[in-house]
């Protein structure tokens, strides 16, 4: 009975949670396409691509559960065999994590005034995670059975640790540079505080989920509880990115004293300017990066904030 709980039970619970998070993601994607019709083609394509990947993950895990529960009903020995859809489903999650972390690394690069060393560390951790996870999936295909060999154990541990550290480093970096952007102006500092809260909550949430995945993998190698966290983590990553993109609308509605305009021809920065204009102007071609700057000694129109939502 414990084998069923640790394998089928864990996957079934994760599958239900994943569908719930997928519903939230679909709603966020719909809102994004409705509100930011002028965003760059690559950014809109990225959102659509992530939605497709999330859908595929659910399809593959659904196939796995159907094969184990329906096709092989009353055949518990099948639970010891590795099924191709399990490996592909986990791989899709790994790909989602890589995409989101690289996107956030780009934001750190902009926010940190092109700090190549910090950004490079995040990128290396993300690529390290993805590369080691590919090695795990290849090795799993070769083994044919759900057995935890020594090489898989250490490779998976290194991969998950890399992803968790990358997430936490992203969260801390964004929060640090946002804090440095405070100017003492109440309205803009209030926005910065909201962005810090967002960066810490989403970054730590994904990082902790991956960390729990690793702990379960090491503590319970005989079941698939860690895969359950892998399934859920993919949905958390896509939702965190979409919250980031849709957060621009929250900023626009939350203030009537800040005039937002594009200050970067490439659409990678926002300029926060104090104004009494009641109508807020937002360049929809922007992504969610904000360019760092300093308060002008002449007037408030020179005030710019570093941020990447």
CATH of the domain at 128: 1.20.1070
Is residue 186 domain-resident? yes
Q: What element of type H or E holds 290?
A: strand 289-290
Q: How far apart are CA 105 and CA 180, in angstroms?
A: 18
Percent of the chain surpassing pLDDT 70: 76
Identify the CA nearest to 124 among candidates 68, 166, 155, 85.
166
Is residue 80 domain-resident? yes
Is residue 308 domain-resident? no
Is residue 218 domain-resident? yes
Convert the pLDDT of each residue in 1-44 to its tens digit.
446 666 788 899 999 999 999 999 999 999 999 999 889 999 99
Is residue 109 domain-resident? yes
Is residue 129 domain-resident? yes
Instruction: Check if the beta carbon of residue 240 is closer than 8 Å to that of residue 233.
Output: no
For residue 80, the enclosing domain spans: 2-252
Convert the pLDDT of each residue in 216-239 to its tens digit.
988 887 788 888 999 999 999 999
Is residue 188 domain-resident? yes
What pairs with residue 289 in β-bridges?
Answer: 308
In order of 117, 130, 219, 303, 305, the CA distances from 165 in angstroms are 16, 13, 20, 33, 26
Is residue 299 domain-resident? no
Structural domains counted in the chain:
1
């Amino acid at each position: 009975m414990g084998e069923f709980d640790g394998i089928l039970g864990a996957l079934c619970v994760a599958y239900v949670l994943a569908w719930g998070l997928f519903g939230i993601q679909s709603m966020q994607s719909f809102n994004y396409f409705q509100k930011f019709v002028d965003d760059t083609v690559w950014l809109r394509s990225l959102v659509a691509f992530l939605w497709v990947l999330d859908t595929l993950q659910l399809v593959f895990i659904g196939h796995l559960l159907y094969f184990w529960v329906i096709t092989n009903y009353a055949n518990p020995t099948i639970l010891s065999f590795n099924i191709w859809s399990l490996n592909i489903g986990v791989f899709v999650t790994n790909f989602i994590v890589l995409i989101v972390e690289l996107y956030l690394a780009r934001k750190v690069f902009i926010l940190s005034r092109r700090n190549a060393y910090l950004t490079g560390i995040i990128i290396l951790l993300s690529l390290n995670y993805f590369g080691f996870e590919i090695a795990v999936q290849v090795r799993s295909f070769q083994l044919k059975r759900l057995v935890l060999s020594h090489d898989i154990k250490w490779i998976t541990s290194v991969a998950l640790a890399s992803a968790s550290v990358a997430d936490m480093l992203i969260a801390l970096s964004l929060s640090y540079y946002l804090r440095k952007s405070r100017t003492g102006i109440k309205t803009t500092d209030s926005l910065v505080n909201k962005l810090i809260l967002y960066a810490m909550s989403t970054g730590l949430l994904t990082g902790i989920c991956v960390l729990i995945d690793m702990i379960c993998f090491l503590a319970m190698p005989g079941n698939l509880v860690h895969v359950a966290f892998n399934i859920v983590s993919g949905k958390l990553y896509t939702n965190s990115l979409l919250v980031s993109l849709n957060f621009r609308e929250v900023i626009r509605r939350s203030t009537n004293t800040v005039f937002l305009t594009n200050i970067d021809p490439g659409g990678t920065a926002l300029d926060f300017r104090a104004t009494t204009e009641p109508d807020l102007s937002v360049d929809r071609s922007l992504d969610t990066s904000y360019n760092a700057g300093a308060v002008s000694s002449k007037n408030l129109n020179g005030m710019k904030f570093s941020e990447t939502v």
